[in-house]
Amino acid sequence: MDLVDPQQAAAAARTVLTSADIDRVLTRIAHEILEANKGGTDLVLMGIPRRGYPLARRLAAKISAADPTLDADAITGQLDVTMFRDDLAHQPTRPPHPTELPASGIDGKVVVLVDDVLYSGRTIRAALDALIDLGRPRAVRLAVLVDRGHRELPIRADHVGKNLPTAAVEKVRVRLTETDQPAVDEVVIEGTA
Amino acid sequence: MKTATPAPAAQPILSANGTYLIRGASLLGAQTADLLIQDGLIAAVGQDLEAPEGAVTVEAAGLVALPGMVDLHTHLREPGREDAETVETGTRAAALGGFTSVHAMANSNPVADTAGVVEQVYSLGLKSGWVDVRPVGAVTVGLKGERLAELGAMADSRARVRVFSDDGMCVHDPVLMRRALEYVKAFDGVVAQHAQEPRMTEGAQMHEGDVSAVLGLPGWPAVAEESIIARDVLLAQHTGSRLHVCHVSTAGSVEIIRWAKERGINVTAEVTPHHLLLTDEAVRSYDPVYKVNPPLRTESDVQALRRGLADGTIDIVGTDHAPHPSEHKECEWAQAAMGMTGLETALSVVQATMIDTGLMDWAGFARVTSATPARIGGVRTQGRPLESGEPANVILVDPAARRTVDPHKMATMGKNSPYAGLELPGQVRATFYAGHPTVLEGALNGPRAAAAEETPWIG
Amino acid sequence: MKHLLSTLDLSYQDAISILDTAEAMAAVGEREVKKLPALRGRTVVNLFFEDSTRTRISFEAAAKRLSADVINFSAKGSSVSKGESLKDTAQTLAAIGADAVVIRHGASGAPARLANSGWIDAAVLNAGDGTHEHPTQALLDAFTMRRHWAQLHGTPSQGTDLKGMHVAIVGDILHSRVARSDLWLLKTLGAEVTLVAPPTLLPFGVESWPCKVSYSLDETLETRPDAVMMLRVQAERMHSAFFPTVREYSRRWGFDDVRLDRLDTLGLDNTILLHPGPMNRGLEISSRAADSPRATVLAQVSNGVSVRMAALYLLLSGEGSSQRTTQEVSAQ
């Protein structure tokens, strides 16, 4: 819900990751994931809608490029957490997104949850609950493009594209070519004093 | 701020010698004159009249003086349903609404089908003293449509009933209807028919049309009214009797009555204020405040009724004031009772639909709300011209006033007004009933002292 | 959306949103854990003034899959049958803390009364009122048709509508709340609808409805419908002489074996047969037709749960959806 006056926002916006930056940090995360998992065995990437899913697809492509035995499509899924949120009665109604499991399922797999911004940690809490209803992974890890701090739950990311110290009044806005108009890749901070 | 039910003034404004001078009223909306009321009569009409000793002066600049309204169709509910209305509360409502006479419908409990019951209602009216209460007698015993009630006994009673009706039920048996029409000729009575073919309207909930089809409510087709009216006017012609048709609601009914009058059939017809204003579109809310019998019809019916009233095809406005306790309306549509209150809004609705639209002037208003209903009901002291020597049944109306209808500020016990929240024009500022000010400054003043008997009114 | 009372006042956007959400809900029904925590702590009351085990268990399953607490209130044998008013019942449910009331009632408009009277602040879902509407039935019918239509066109159903689809609704239109709800919703979604019925079982004023009307099922089949919805015939209608005999009705307006074969002759391989249930086999639909691969009766039942989950979720989530929760928040 963008209620900020676009002109005002543009004036106050500051780009923290450009398109090239995003590609670079995703490449790094892809390699970190492979390294932490000691290869591609049993690896599954579950993106959290909306922007976590395209990020998961991009990561899967990079992983598959590094390890051609892995089929990017076969190891990527989408995990909708809407129904598991703790704020359903306090936010405008959110229509749920479909949940799509990779062909191999998640039982016994190492599931990497992928999201764009890690903030309070509540989305990831919901994602963990959602995941448990779908099966029993061997391990669950978390990869995020940006960690902006202000955690409200004991949750941390295993793989972080960029740590971004922010004030609570600021807004971190991620735009991806797959999900946003205008179709650009960038991360900006808005509402900076 | 007045929020409670209106009550009579603690200190009524009364002239010790029954003398009131109304200054500068516009008579029937035309020329301006003063009216002097003395001893229950209009003593003088003229310019710059002197206020006699002891007279109370009522300034009436900008107000229209009209003959007191006469309702041929009121449900006062007493005896039997005193939780819905009593003669006292209903006649207070009538006085506030500008009426000086109401006809109390027969569907009380017990039914007003004997001399005893009509005399009881008549006595209650005299005791209350707000308006002239004329009981309507039932046509058939218990409104059952099986055999004639003792119409003659009611006519000869102290209540001197002249209007007979099974209102709420249709006298659907053609033989019985014929006999009733014939029989009442013996005492110059009139049968007021509730025209509703019963088989065609079993379980009917609203007008049968586009809206009922969408809402899934069983329909009350126009033909169920029109077929009875067509039959009845032919019966009236055949028997040479007088017929009155209650609450005409469809364009087709207007056409049939127009045809009958052209043929010289002795028929009069009535329309309610709500059928002049509201349509079945209101039912889309499923709010039973709009549930009434006959049902609200379509916009083209409303327009035909207005034209019919304007051109004289329809003779009078009758309120069909039907108060109900709130539990009869606070329920599902199908379970809810039929009927709406109307006494305290009739003038405003008729002004809005007939006068402010240019279809009728105030003289026409006086004809359809006073003179003609009094004539149909045989009430000779009512509906008279505003002339010297006539009974002083006079109301003063502010046609420029506008008010938002609030049922909780009404004198009727019924909160079932379909106009709640609606802004309507016109307000009754004063009502003089037989020379007595029942309403002054738009509020209840006080009842007329109980009379042993109404002024003799049959020659 | 605060209530779901009719499909007549359902916008295109809301209809698509419910159907799309239902797709997401349908996936849950195929999982091992058929439960979502979305309505944890919320109370859904099934207030049934008419018996309908099918509809009630469908709503019950939907509410339970969303983790709501479910209270079944059957008016039969309760204080309601002893004359308690709808108002008192509503106020009782409000005092119990119902967040949603699923109401089935014999009187048209009873759900609208409940929603608009101020007696209770809960979301109201119409589970069938008199001869007025049955919106969740229409939504599950549309959901079933949309899946079929999207599959025929080789697209996922998410986000699509029924543009270009031709649907025939056959039977007692006059008394059918399903027919009304179906017609409005199918029109909103872009389908063409033909109502087929004996003239006595069509509502007065049907000419003004946004559909074609036919007295002949055979002629309608020749117009190559993509879906045929057969309505249940209420035997009690016969006593009011809406049609002479059940046999005559069945011959003229029943979906019998001859008509089933006619679809094959016409090459209508993809025409589906819907029925809201319960079916009168041999009356409005033959057994062979009901059991044919064209029949979607069982899919309709399972889709009913998904659609009702979607409706409950959309009505009970979102800001201000719970009076009490809002108070808790402001107290913090």
| Residue B67 preceded by cis peptide, ω within 30 | no
DSSP letters, B113-176, are -SHHHHHHHHHHHHHH-SSEEEEPBPSBGGG-SSSB--HHHHHHSTT---EE--TTS----HHH
The DSSP output letter for A181 is S
B-chain residue closest to C183, CA distance: B214
ipTM of the complex: 0.92
Mutant choice from C80, C108, C242 vs B, greatest count of B C-beta within 10 A: C108
Q: Is C54 a catalytic residue?
A: yes
Which tens digit of pLDDT belongs to each residue from B202-253?
999 999 999 999 999 999 999 999 999 999 999 999 999 999 999 999 999 9
Distance CA B278, CA B297 (A): 8
Strands of the sheet containing C100-105, edge to edge, are C69-74, C43-48, C100-105, C123-129
Q: Which of C86, C109, C204 is the closest to B215 by Cβ?
A: C109
Q: What is the Cα–Cα distance from A182 to A176, expressed in whole angstroms?
A: 9
Question: Which residues of C fall within a CB distance of 8 Å from B327?
Answer: 85
Which of C113, C177, C206 minimises the CB distance to B286?
A: C113
What is the Cα–Cα distance from C233 to C254, expressed in whole angstroms? 10
The pLDDT tens digits of the residues spanning B423-442 come to 999 999 999 999 999 999 99
- Residue range B395-424, pLDDT digits in tens: 999 999 999 999 999 999 999 999 999 999
Spatial contact of C98 and C74, defined as CB atoms under 8 Å apart: no
> Which amino acid, residue B313?
T
Beta carbons of B287 and C129 less than 8 Å apart: no
* Strand partners for B340: B321
Chain A residues near residue C321 by CB distance under 8 angstroms? 88-89, 93
Q: Taking residues C210-216, what's their average pLDDT?
A: 98
Contacts with C112 (C-beta within 8 Å, 6 or more apart), sequence order: B285, B286, C5, C6, C126, C129
Average pLDDT over residues B33-52: 96
Residue A1, pLDDT above cutoff 50? no
| H or E stretch at A27 | helix A19-36
**pLDDT tens sequence across A82-133:** 999 988 878 888 888 889 999 888 999 999 999 999 999 999 999 999 999 9
- Other beta carbons within 10 Å of B131: 33
Compute, in degrees rounded to 10, the torsion defined by CA atoms C154, C157, C159, C161: 90
Using an 8 Å Cβ cutoff, are A85 and A74 in contact?
A: no
| Closest by Cβ to C177, choosing from B208, B216, B334 | B216
Distance from CA of C273 to the nearest CA of B (A): 25
Give the nearest chain C residue to B216 (CA atoms).
Answer: C132
Q: What is the pLDDT of residue B459?
A: 29
Contact between C313 and A134 using a beta-carbon 8 Å cutoff: no
Residue C1 distance to chain A (closest CA, Å): 10
The catalytic residue among C2, C35, C54, C76 is: C54
Are the Cβ atoms of A98 and C325 closer than 8 angstroms?
A: no
Q: What rounded mean pLDDT belongs to chain B?
A: 95
Q: What is the pLDDT of residue B139?
A: 98
- Categorize the per-residue pLDDT at B3 as very low, low, confident or very high, splitting at 50, 70 and 90: low
Give the number of beta-carbon pairs within 8 Å between B and C: 71
B332 contacts C109? CB cut-off 8 A:
yes
Which chains lie within 8 Å of chain C at 3 or more CB pairs, if any? Answer: A, B
Q: pTM for the full model?
A: 0.90
Residue type, C251: R
Statement: residue C238 has pLDDT above 70 = no
Q: Per-residue confidence at B32, pLDDT binned at 50, 70, 90? A: very high
Q: φ, ψ for residue B333 (rounded to 5)?
A: -55, -50
Mean pLDDT of B165-172: 97
C55 noted as active-site residue: yes
Decide: residue C259, CB within 10 A, 0-12 exposed, 13-18 middle, 19+ buried: middle
Contact B286 C86 (CB under 8 A): no
Q: Do B209 and C204 touch (CB under 8 A)?
A: yes
Among candidate residues C7, C55, C89, C144, the one labeled active-site is: C55
Residue in chain C nearest A95 by alpha carbon: C21
Residue C226 tokens read as 């993509």
CA distance B458 to C296: 78
pLDDT at position C40 is 92
Give the phi and the psi of residue C29 in degrees, each rounded to 5. Answer: -65, -20
Is B286 close to C112, i.e. CB distance below 8 A?
yes
Would you call the peptide bond into A50 cis, given omega within 30 degrees of 0 as the criterion?
yes
Assess whether pLDDT exceeds 80 at residue C167.
yes
What is the Cα–Cα distance from B429 to B406, expressed in whole angstroms? Answer: 17
pLDDT for residue A192? 62
CB contact under 8 A, C38 and A95: no
Q: For residue B129, which amino acid is it?
A: G
Q: Name which of A1, A81, A88 to mutate to probe chain C: the one with the most chain C Cβ atoms within 10 A of its Cβ.
A: A88
Query: Chain B within 8 Å of C72 (Cβ-Cβ)?
Result: no
pLDDT in tens, A28-76: 999 999 999 999 999 999 999 999 999 999 999 999 999 999 999 999 9
Which tens digits make up the pLDDT trace of B289-335? 999 999 999 999 999 999 999 999 999 999 999 999 999 999 999 99
pLDDT at A175: 96
Looking at beta carbons, which residues of chain C come within 8 Å of B218?
A: 131
Chain C positions in Cβ-Cβ contact with residue A95 (cut-off 8 Å): 17, 20-21, 24, 314
Burial pattern C168-203, b for ≥16 Cβ within 10 A else e, equals bbbbbbbbbbbbbbbbbbbbbbebbbbbbbbeebbb
Rounded average pLDDT over C164-192: 97
**Cβ–Cβ below 8 Å for C27 and A92:** no
C81: confidence class by pLDDT, cuts 50, 70, 90: low
CA C327, CA C332: separation in Å to the nearest integer?
9
Q: Give the pLDDT confidence score for residue C83 in this predicted structure.
A: 63
CB B134 within 8 A of CB B377: yes
What residues in A contact C65, CB-CB < 8 Å? none
Backbone angles phi, psi at B299, to 5 degrees: -60, -40
Q: Which residues of B touch C132 (CB under 8 A)?
A: 215-217
Q: Which residues of B touch C107 (CB under 8 A)?
A: 332-335
Comparing CA positions, the residue from B45, B27, B28 lying closest to residue B36 is B45
A78 CA: distance to closest CA in chain C (Å): 12
Query: What percent of chain C is modeled with pLDDT above 90?
Result: 80
**Catalytic pick among C42, C56, C105, C134:** C134
Token pair 């959110």 is found at A94
Residues from A contacting C (CB-CB < 8 Å) are 80, 82-84, 88-99, 129, 133-135
Q: Do B332 and C8 touch (CB under 8 A)?
A: no
In one-letter notation, the amino acid at residue A58 is R
Q: In whole angstroms, what is the distance from residue A81 CA to residue A71 CA?
A: 25
Mutate to test the interface with C, among B206, B210, B214, B331 (most CBs of C within 10 A): B214
Catalytic residues of B: 320
Decide if B213 and C177 are in contact by the 8 Å CB cutoff: no
List C42, C104, C187, C232, catalytic entry:
C104
Residues of C with a Cβ under 8 Å from any A Cβ are 17, 20-21, 23-25, 27, 31-33, 35-38, 66, 158, 313-314, 316-319, 321-322, 325-326, 329
- Residue reference for tokens 């409510």: B217
Would strands C123-129 and B56-59 be described as parallel, antiparallel, or unpaired?
unpaired
The pLDDT of residue B348 is 98
- pLDDT(C235) > 60: yes
Per-residue pLDDT at C328: 35
Mention every residue, 6+ apart, whose C-beta is less than 8 A from residue B296: B206, B207, B274, B275, B278, B279, B280, B282, B283, B290
Express each pLDDT in A183-193 by its tens digit. 999 999 988 65
Asked if C228 and C296 count as a contact pair (C-beta separation under 8 A), the reply is: no
pLDDT, tens digit, 9 for 90 and up, residues C50-79: 988 899 999 999 999 999 999 998 876 555
Between residues A9 and A46, the one the model is more confident about: A46
Residues B42, B55: contact at Cβ < 8 Å? no
- Predicted confidence at residue A8, as pLDDT, reads 56
Q: What distance in Å separates the CA atoms of residue B295 and residue B220, rounded to the nearest whole number?
A: 7
Main-chain dihedrals φ then ψ at residue C249, nearest 5 degrees: -60, -50
- The pair phi, psi for residue C213, each rounded to 5°, is -125, 135
Average pLDDT over residues B97-102: 98
Please name the residue of chain C whose CA is at the shortest distance from the CA of residue A98: C24
Distance CA B403, CA C226 (A): 57
Say if the Cβ atoms of B332 and C86 lie within 8 Å: yes
Is the distance from CB of B77 to CB of B86 less than 8 angstroms? yes
Q: With an 8 Å Cβ cutoff, is C204 touching chain B?
A: yes
Percent of chain C exceeding pLDDT 70 equals: 93
pLDDT, one tens digit per residue, over B121-164 is 999 999 999 999 999 999 999 999 999 999 999 999 999 999 99
Q: In what order do the strands lie in the sheet with B163-164?
A: B163-164, B190-193, B243-245, B267-271, B316-317
d(CA B421, CA B410): 13
Residue C104 DSSP SS3: strand
What's the mean per-residue pLDDT of chain C?
Answer: 91
pLDDT digits (tens, 9 = 90+) for A165-174: 999 899 999 9
Q: How many percent of chain B have pLDDT more than 70? A: 97
Interchain CB distance below 8 Å, C205 and B335: no
Report the C-alpha gap between A102 and A89 in whole angstroms: 31
* Torsion over CA: A110, A111, A114, A117 (sign): negative
Contact C27 A129 (CB under 8 A): no
- B90-117 average pLDDT score: 97
Contact between C194 and C225 under an 8 Å Cβ cutoff? The reply is yes
Using alpha carbons, select from B64, B63, B87 the residue that is nearest to residue B135.
B87
Reply yes or no on whether the pLDDT at B2 is more than 90. no
